[in-house]
Amino acid sequence: MTQHWIDIKNANAVLIMGSNAAEHHPISFKWVMKAKEAGAAVIHVDPKFSRTSARSDLHVPLRSGTDIAFLGGMVKYILEKDLIQKEYVTEYTNASFILGDDYKFEDGLFSGFDPEKKKYDQKKWAFAKDENGVSKRDKTLQDPRCVYQLLKKHYERYDLDTVSSITGVSKENLLKVYEVYSATGKPDKAGTIMYALGWTQHSVGVQNIRLGAMVQLLLGNIGIAGGGVNALRGEPNVQGSTDHALLWHIIPGYNNTPTTAWPTLDDYLKANTPVTKDPKSVNWWQNRPKYVVSLLKGWFGDNATPENGFCYDLLPKLEPGVKYSSMFMFDRMYAGKMKGGIMFGHNPAMSFPNTHKVRAALQKLDWLVMGEVHDTETCSFWRGPGVDPKKVQTEVFLLPSCQRGEKDGTTSNSGRWHQWHHKGYEPLGQSKSMGWIVVEIMKKVRALYEKEKGTFPEGILTHDWIKEYDAEEMAMRINGRFTKDVTIKDKTYKKGDHVPSFPSLQADGSTSSLNWLYCGCYPEPGKNLAKRRDHTQTPMQAKIGLFPNYTWAWPVNRRIIYNRASVDVNGKPFNPALPVIAWEDGKWIGDIPDGPAPPMAMEKGVYPFIMHTEGHAQLFGPGRVDGPFPEHYEPVETPVTKNPFSSQLSNPCVDLFSSDKDVYTKPGDPNFPIVLTTYSMTEHWCGGGDTRNTPYLLEAEPQLYVEMSHELAGEKGIKNGDPVIVESARGKVEAIAMVTVRITPFTVQGKTVHLIGMPFCFGWTTPGVGDATNRLLPSVGEPNVTIPEYKACLVNIRKADKVKELAI
Amino acid sequence: MPKTILIDTTRCTACRGCQVACKQWHGHEAVPTKQTGTHQNPPDLTPNNFKLVRFSEQKIDGRVWWLFFPEQCRHCLQPACKATSDNYVDGAIVQDEATGIVVCTEKTKELTAEQCTEIIDACPYNIPRRNDKTGELTKCDMCIDRVKAGLVPMCVKSCCTGAMNFGEREDMLKLAEQRLAKIKGEFPKSDFEAMVWCDVSQTCSMLDQDDLNVIYLLALPREMYHKFARKESKPLNRADFLATLTQPLRSIMG
Amino acid sequence: MANFSRRGFLKLTGAGVTALSLGQLGFDLRPAYAYAKALKIEGAKEVISVCGFCSCGCEIIMHIKDGKIISSEGNADYPVSEGALCAKGAAFYSMHVSDHRVLKPKYRAPGSAKWEEKDWDWMLDKIARKIKDTRDKDFMLKNDKGQTVNRWETYFQLGTSQMDNEECAVTHQMCRALGGVYIDHQARV
C-alpha cells in the first residue's frame, strides 16, 4: 500500500476492484465504513456479488479478465471530459514528456516486438532527450508525441459500446462508476483504489495495476490522504517477505540478483545505478551502491573488503533472460531436473495451478524438507489420492514449526508497519521457529564443509552466519551497524553502533545492513521501534489518522509514500482540510516527507516521485516487458474469439509451458464454455492447512462449493446443494453447488457467458471436504512476474451421480 | 441501568468474527457441518453456538441484497423464558438485576425435556437450545463474566466494522436513533453519496427496541432477514409479566 | 516507555508483556451471583502477538497462565483494528492449540507408506548430509560459456510469507550461501 489501513477513511470515493476486501481483509472494512459514514461512495467492481458488494453503494459485475477494458474506458472518459488534476498531471507525471521516434503502437502491438522470442525491444520506447541529455517536455501537453496526447490516442478505442460489449458491464453502470470516481480529480477530493489478487492473478496482472495507478495519477490521487494505489497484501508478512526477497529475481531491498552479465561488483553497480542529468531529480537509486555494499557487509562481515569486491564474486549468478520463478521451478521438477529442496509454510500441492503436475513433480525429487505447522497435502504428497507410496522414492523430512504466538519477531502489515510480536510461551511439543530451523540446518552444513571440504566451500563458509537464531540480533543485523569508527556530519559513530537511518549507509564497507529499507527501525541498542505501542500524534496527524509512534513504518517511518505529491509546487496541500505534509516556516510538518528538500518550485526543490530516475510518475511506463501502456488482451483461456480492440487476442508475451500435463483450451471451445474464477474466503486461508485444522473455522465453511447463477443451474439441471463435477482440460473436481443470485450471466459480444466461482482451500488430508480446485487451472504466467492466471480459465460443469472426494 | 447491545446490520460484513469469538470464549465444541448450498453454517443455533450469523439473499428489481443477521439471545426486559421456567425450577433462568442479562444457569438441568421445549416455544425469537447430553438449557449469556469484570462481550469486542455496540441502554438507544436517522436520509448527502445513494429510508427499522436489551437495526423488512427476526408472539410487557404471577404455580416436580 | 491506553479499561505497564489482575485493578470479583462464572483470564499474563493471516496485522493479546496459552482476543490499542478480529483472527487461540499440529520431527523413508518419528539431531544431520552430497555433485562453477556462475540448479527453496522478517533474512542468506537460484514464495502465487 502507498497508504496505510486507517487512511482509507479519508477517501471521498473508494473503488474496490480486483479485491473482495470485506471477506479477505475484514478489518479494512472498518475504515471503508468510516469513509462511507462520512459521505464517501463505495464501489465494488467484481464478477461476483460478495460480502464486499453487500456493504458497497454499488456493485458492478465484470467478466473476469476485462479490467483493462473497463479502466481504459475510464481513462478515455477522464481525458475527454478533461477531469484530470491539471497541475498534478503536468508537474508530477511524465504526461509532458516527449517520446522518441521509435515508439509506435499498431493493432495491439507496440514497436520492437520479436514474435519468435515473444519479447519486445524496450529501447524502442525511449523518451526524446535534449542536448544536455534531459528528457524533452511540452508542459502545454499539445505536442502530438507527448505522453498525454499518445495516451489519449491509445484509449480513444475504448468507447462505451465496445467496453460494455467485451466486459459484460452495462453502459449505465460504466457511466455511473466513471462519473463518481472521476469526481475525485478535484484537488481537494480523494479517491482510493483497493486491489488484491483479483488484479494480479491474470496474464495481464501487472498492467491491470499500472492502469489503476495511471487513473490515480490523472486524478491526482497518489500521495494525498485518502488516495493511493493500495495492494491489500495477501499474506500476513508478504510485504516483509518481499522486502527481504524470498524471491529469485532480487536480493533484499529490491536490488537485482547478480547475473553473468555483471561478473564483478563494479559491473553490477554500474549497470544498476541510474544516472540523471536533471538537477531537480532526486534519483533515489543513485544510492544503490551504499545499500548493496552494506548488504554484502551484513552477509560476509569482516571477510568482505573493498579489495575482494565485498565477496560479490561468491554469490550465485543467474543466466540473463532465464526465469527461475516457481512455475518454472515446478516445470523443471516435473522434467526430473530438481533433486531436493526446502519448503517452509507453503502448500503447492494445493495452491499451485495445474496441481496434478505439481503433485507428480514432487514424486520425482530425491529429498524434500518441509517446515510446517500441519501435515499438509504437500508434506504427504507420497500418500495422496492415487499415489502408491511404494513407487515414490523421495525421502521427506517434516520439521514441526511453531505458531506465531510461540516466537518473537516482526511482520510488516500492508501499510508497511513493522510490528514486533512477543513470544507468549514455549512452543508446543518439539516445534521450533523457522528461523531456528534455518540456522541449525546451516550450522550442520557448515560443520560438514569445514570438516570434509567439498565443492566451493568458500561460498558457504565465508558468510558471517549467526551462531544461534535470535530475533533481536537479526533485527539489529537488518537495521545495520557501523563496521568501524566513522564520522558523518560532525557525528562520530563507534564500530558496532547501530546505523541511525539509511541516509547514513556507506558504500565503502564502513556500514552493514541486511536491508536498507528497514535501516532506522532499531537506531540504537535497546531502542527497537517495532515494539512501540504509543498513540502520540500531533493534531495535524490526528486529523488524517496518522500514528507515527505506533510501531515503525518503512521507509524512515513515512506513513504515506510519495507524499510530496500531496502539495502543490510551493508546498501548499492540495486539500487544506486533510494535509499529509505542509511547508511552513521553512520546514515540513505532518508526515515524514519524501526527503527534506524544500518544495519543488524553490531553489533546491525536487520532483516528488523520487524513486524514478526522471522524478516523475510514469503514465508512460517503459519498464514493463509487455508494453508501456496497458492494453486489453483476453485471458489465455477465454470464451471470446475476437478482441474488439486489436487482432492480438491474448498477451503476446505470456509464459506458457509445454510438458504433457500442460494442456490449454482454445478460445471459444464449445466443450468448455464456462469461465471459472477462483478465490479465498474469510474463514479459510490459502491452501487451508492452518484453517481446515482449526475446527471452529471448518464448522463455518466445511466443504468445497461452486457458486453459480440460477440461469446456469437451470440449463444444467442442477439444484442448490447438489454435488457436481467441474471439469477442465486438465482434470475434474467435485464440489457442492451453491446456486445464487449473487452471480449473474454476462452478455458478451451479444452472447451469454456463464461464470462460476470456487474457493481453493479444501484438500484431501481433511477427510470428506473435497480436494484441490487448482487441479482445474492452467499453468499460465504473466510475463513480467510469472504470477499464474488463477482468475480466469475455461471449464464445464455437470451434476454428479456419485462423489468420492466429498462426504455427503 | 441495564446493558444493551446494538447490532447495526447495515454495517455487518458477516466476517463471523463474533460467531467464532463467542465459541472460543465459551470453550464450545466445534459442531460437524456440511455444505448445503449456503454460507450459513451451522444451519441453526446449537448448545455450542450462542451466536450465529444468518445469511439471506434476494434479488429485487435487478438489485441483489445479501442480508446478514448476527443472531443471538435478545435479553428481553421481561423474559418469557424466565417466566415460563420459573413455573418449574426456581433459578434455572435468572435475570441479573444490575445488567439485565438473562442467564440459563446449571439448574436448567433440573428441567425436563418437555419443560425445555415449552420454554423454547415461549421465546418469541426461538433462541434457547437444550443440550441433550447434559440436559442443560443454553443460550447467549452476554458474556456476563466479562461484563461483570468491566469488559465488553466477546462478540462486540471482535466486531470489525462497528456493527455491534455495547453500553448503557440509554446510550445504545441514542446511538440507534442516530444511526436510524442517518439511514432514513435525515442528513444532507454529500455529492458522492448523492450519485450512488441507495434509498432504504422507507424500509429501515429498529426491532422491538422497547422490549429488548439486544436491539437490531435493519435496512429492509425484518421478514427478509430471518423467520424469527420478527417476534411471532410479543415478549412480555410488565402487565403481562404480572399476569403470569397470578396464574396457579405448576409443580416444580412436574 | 510507550504510552499505553487500553481504551476504557486496562492500563498496561510494560511494552508487550504484563501481568494483570482484575482484583488489583479495583474490580469487585466476589461471586455475587452464582451464575457469573469467574473470569478465566483473571491473573493471566498478557502478551502481544500479531494475527498470522491477511496483512491487516491485527494485534492479538494472548492470555498466558502457568506457561500455557489459555485465551486470546484482539488488542484494543492497535489503531487499525481497535481490538476487532475476523473469524480467523478470533480463532487464534484454538489454532495454536489445535490437536492436528505436528509436534515431533517426522521422517518418511523412500518407498515407505508411513511417517517415523525421529529426534531433531538425527533429522538435522541427515538433512545436512543430503544438502552437502547433492550440492557437491551438482554445483556449477562455470556455465557453457565459461563464465563464473557459482550456482546450484538442482536445489530449490519455497516459502514463506508466514515467516517473520528476521526469519526471511536468514532464509534468503541461506539460499544464496548454498548457491541457490530457485527461490520463491507466496508473493508470486
Q: What is the pLDDT of residues B201-242, one digit of tens each?
A: 899 999 999 999 999 999 999 989 998 887 755 555 555 555
At residue C8, does pLDDT exceed 70? Answer: no
Contacts of B36 (CB under 8 A, 6+ apart): A720, A721, A736, B43
Q: Which of A79-88, A715-724, B33-42, C30-39 has the lowest mean pLDDT?
A: C30-39
C177 in contact with chain A, both atoms CB, cutoff 8 A: yes
- pLDDT grade, residue A630 (50/70/90)? very high
* Nearest Cβ partner for A421 among C48, C53, C179: C48
Question: For residue A414, what are the CA distances in angstroms to A194, A210, A233, A541, C73?
Answer: 11, 19, 5, 20, 21
Phi, psi of A73 (to 5 degrees): -65, -35
Q: What is the pLDDT of residues A216-251, one digit of tens each?
A: 999 999 999 999 999 999 878 999 999 999 999 999
CA distance B28 to A101: 71
Question: For residue A274, what are the CA distances in angstroms to A162, A791, B209, C28?
Answer: 41, 36, 67, 67
Give one word for C88, left, alpha or beta, with left for phi > 0 and alpha for psi -120 to 50. Answer: alpha
Mean pLDDT on C148-156 = 98
C55 in contact with chain A, both atoms CB, cutoff 8 A: yes
Element (H, E) at A341: strand A340-344
Low-confidence ranges of chain B (pLDDT < 50): 244-254
- pLDDT grade, residue C130 (50/70/90)? very high
Mean pLDDT on A464-483 = 98
pLDDT of residue B240: 57
Sign, CA dihedral A22-A26-A31-A36, equals positive
At residue C19, does pLDDT exceed 50? Answer: no
Residue C6 in grid coordinates: 487500553
Long-range contacts from B101-107, C-beta under 8 angstroms, 24+ separation: B101/B3, B101/B75, B101/B141, B101/B142, B101/B144, B101/B147, B101/B213, B102/B73, B102/B75, B102/B76, B102/B139, B103/B141, B103/B144, B103/C35, B103/C36, B104/B128, B104/B136, B104/B137, B104/B138, B104/B139, B104/B141, B105/C34, B105/C35, B106/B136
Residue A679 DSSP code: E
Going by their DSSP bridges, the two strands A250-251 and A255-256 should be labelled as antiparallel
At residue C149, does pLDDT exceed 80? Answer: yes
Residue A426 DSSP code: P
Q: What is the pLDDT of residues A656-714, one digit of tens each?
A: 999 999 999 999 999 999 999 999 999 999 999 999 999 999 999 999 999 999 999 99
Q: Across chain A, what does the average pLDDT equal?
A: 97
The rounded percent of chain A whose pLDDT value lies above 90 is: 99
Contact A29 B13 (CB under 8 A): yes
Helix axes A434-452, C120-138, angle to 10 degrees: 60
Count contacts between A and B (CB, < 8 Å).
Answer: 134
CA distance B8 to B164: 6
pLDDT of residue B186: 81
Tally Cβ neighbours within 10 Å of residue A93: 26
* Nearest Cβ partner for A57 among B14, B59, B196: B196
pLDDT of residue B185: 86
String of DSSP letters for A644-671: TT-S--B-TT-EE--STT---PPTT-TT
Q: What is the pLDDT of residues A577-626, one digit of tens each?
A: 999 999 999 999 999 999 999 999 999 999 999 999 999 999 999 999 99
Question: For residue A426, what are the CA distances in angstroms to A408, A430, A753, C69?
Answer: 11, 10, 54, 10
Give one word for A86, left, alpha or beta, with left for phi > 0 and alpha for psi -120 to 50. Answer: alpha
Give the SS3 label for residue C56: coil
Q: Does domain B80-143 have CATH number 3.30.70.20?
A: yes
B21 in contact with chain C, both atoms CB, cutoff 8 A: yes
At residue C11, does pLDDT exceed 80? Answer: no
Residue A794 in grid coordinates: 475455461
Residues of A (5-44) whose Cβ lies below 8 Å from C: 5-6, 24-28, 30
B103 in contact with chain C, both atoms CB, cutoff 8 A: yes
State the amino acid at position A626 in one-letter form: D
Contacts of A464 (CB under 8 A, 6+ apart): A298, A299, A300, A301, A302, A303
CA distance A228 to A191: 8
C74 in contact with chain B, both atoms CB, cutoff 8 A: yes
Nearest to C164 by CA among A733, A418, B215: A418
CA distance C42 to chain B (A): 9
Residue of A nearest to C169 (CA): A244
Residues of A (410-439) whose Cβ lies below 8 Å from C: 410-415, 417-426, 428-435, 438-439
CA distance A136 to chain B (A): 39
pLDDT of residue C30: 37
Q: What is the pLDDT of residues A190-209, one digit of tens each?
A: 999 999 999 999 999 999 99
Q: What is the pLDDT of residues A488-547, one digit of tens each?
A: 989 999 999 999 999 999 999 999 999 999 999 999 999 999 999 999 999 999 999 999
String of DSSP letters for A178-229: HHHHHGGGSTT--EEEEE-HHHHSSTTHHHHHHHHHHHHHHTT-SSSTT-SE
- pLDDT grade, residue C36 (50/70/90)? low
Contact A337 C153 (CB under 8 A): yes
Nearest to A689 by CA among A761, A739, A590: A761
User: B3-74+147-224 and B80-143 share one CATH topology?
Assistant: yes
State the amino acid at position A643 in one-letter form: N
pLDDT of residue B36: 98
Domain-wise residue ranges, chain B: 3-74+147-224, 80-143
Give chain C positions within 8 Å (CB) of B158: 73-74, 83-86, 89-90
At residue C17, does pLDDT exceed 60? Answer: no
CA distance A115 to A105: 15
Beta bridge partners of A527: A524
Contact B37 A29 (CB under 8 A): no
pLDDT of residue B249: 38
Question: For residue C2, what are the CA distances in angstroms to A70, C11, C12, C17?
Answer: 47, 12, 10, 12
pLDDT of residue B234: 55
The reply to whether omega before B128 is within 30° of 0 (cis) is no
pLDDT of residue C9: 36
Alpha-carbon Rg for chain C in angstroms: 24
At residue C32, does pLDDT exceed 90? Answer: no
C partners (3+ CB pairs within 8 A) are A, B
Contact call for residues A726 and A706 (beta carbons, < 8 A): yes
- Provide CATH code, domain B3-74+147-224: 3.30.70.20
